[in-house]
């Protein structure tokens, strides 16, 4: 059970990282109004036109990053919805359950209903705000499950959670979540390297804060810490202000 709990904590931390601020939609729409589109990494030229201003180079990077973070959150939500449905199914298979577990079942049912009533591909501000709140609640629900199991309310509860996590293959769920973070970080790294190499010496001097940020970003191989740094990138350019 100790190993399962350790992995649960790691998974919760990854889910927290995937929570997308509702302000992302506002930032995205603001940048899109400038008629600048997000291009795949391979389509961004490393030899931009001489008349292109520094801001015109930075804005596509920010749009790409905001979009990437939002898409990552959407992937996490889909994976979480599948996982919670499996957990709920397994919990309902036990004929005898404590009041604590029955309350948790109701909580899971409520979250799943919200999943079914939202279009995860809807990028409107209201939908993004709801998706962010939904991911927060999924994370909180898993955390609550962990703490209640750890508290040892009853041996029966502990046994039920252990059997459920084994049956739904919680380790695989965590692996999928982690791999999604690795993939998102990899995509960003590729686009950022092309962006940075397209800048001249003077432009890089103007973006000294970004240089400091990138040094920290590349200083670790851990996907969760790198993903956390993306929010620092937004702060540098005051994306949400």
Query: Does 196 reside within a domain?
Result: yes
Structure tokens at 69: 């973070």
Residue numbers of the domain that contains 172: 2-236
For the ranges 97-106, 134-143, 191-200, which has the lowest average pLDDT? 134-143
Using CA atoms, how far apart are residues 124 and 110, in angstroms rounded to an integer?
23
Beta strands in 21-132 (DSSP E): none
Assess whether pLDDT exceeds 80 at residue 36: no
Whether residue 45 is predicted with pLDDT greater than 70 in this model: the reply is no
Q: How many CB atoms lie within 10 A of CB 139?
A: 21
In this prediction, residue 10 has a pLDDT band, given cuts at 50, 70 and 90, of very low
Whether 241 maps to a domain, the answer reads no
Name the DSSP class of 19.
Answer: P
Does any domain span residue 192? Answer: yes
Query: What is the pLDDT averaged over residues 181-201?
Result: 91
Q: Alpha-carbon distance 176 to 25, whole Å?
A: 26
Query: What's the pTM value of the predicted model, to 2 decimals?
Result: 0.73
Q: Are 70 and 123 in contact, with CB atoms under 8 Å apart?
A: yes
Residues 218, 196: Cα–Cα separation, whole Å: 13
pLDDT of residue 15: 52
The more confidently predicted of residues 199 and 21 is 199
Gyration radius from the chain CA atoms: 21
Q: Quick one: angle between helices 125-151 and 54-92, nearest 10?
A: 50
Residues 188-197 have a mean pLDDT of 92
In this structure, is residue 178 part of a structural domain? yes
Asked, for residue 91, whether it belongs to a domain, the answer is yes
Backbone dihedral region for residue 43 (phi beyond 0: left; psi -120 to 50: alpha; all else: beta): alpha
* Token reading at 50: 């001489």
Query: Domain for residue 194, yes or no?
Result: yes
Distance between CA 226 and CA 51 in Å, rounded?
33
pLDDT tens digits, 165-186: 889 888 888 888 889 889 999 9
Three-state secondary-structure class, residue 21: coil
Cα separation, 30 vs 211, in Å, equals 25
Say if residue 36 is exposed, middle or buried (CB neighbours under 10 Å; 0-12, 13-18, 19+).
middle
| Separation between Cα atoms, residue 170 and residue 4, nearest integer Å | 8
Number of domain units in the chain = 1
Residue 47, in any domain of the structure:
yes
């Amino acid at each position: 059970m100790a190993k399962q709990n350790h992995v649960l904590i790691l998974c919760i931390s990854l889910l927290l990282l995937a929570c997308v601020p509702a302000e992302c939609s506002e930032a995205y729409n603001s940048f899109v109004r400038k008629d600048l589109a997000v291009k795949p990494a391979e389509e961004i030229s490393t030899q931009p036109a001489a008349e292109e201003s520094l801001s015109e180079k930075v804005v596509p990077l920010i749009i790409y990053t905001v979009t990437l973070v939002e898409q990552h959150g959407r992937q996490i939500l889909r994976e979480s919805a599948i996982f919670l449905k499996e957990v709920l199914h397994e919990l309902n298979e036990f004929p005898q359950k404590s009041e604590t577990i029955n309350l948790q079942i109701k909580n899971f049912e409520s979250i799943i209903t919200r999943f079914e009533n939202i279009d995860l591909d809807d990028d409107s501000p209201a939908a993004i705000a709801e998706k962010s709140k939904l991911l927060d609640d999924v994370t909180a629900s898993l955390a609550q499950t962990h703490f209640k199991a750890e508290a040892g309310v009853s041996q029966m509860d502990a046994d039920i959670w252990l059997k459920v996590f084994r049956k739904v293959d919680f380790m695989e769920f965590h692996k999928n979540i982690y791999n999604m973070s690795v993939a998102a970080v990899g995509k960003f790294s590729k686009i950022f390297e092309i962006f940075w190499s397209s800048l001249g010496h003077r432009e890089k001097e103007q973006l000294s804060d970004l240089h400091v940020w990138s040094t920290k970003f590349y200083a670790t191989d851990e996907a969760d810490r790198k993903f956390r740094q993306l929010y620092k990138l937004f702060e540098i350019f005051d994306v949400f202000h």
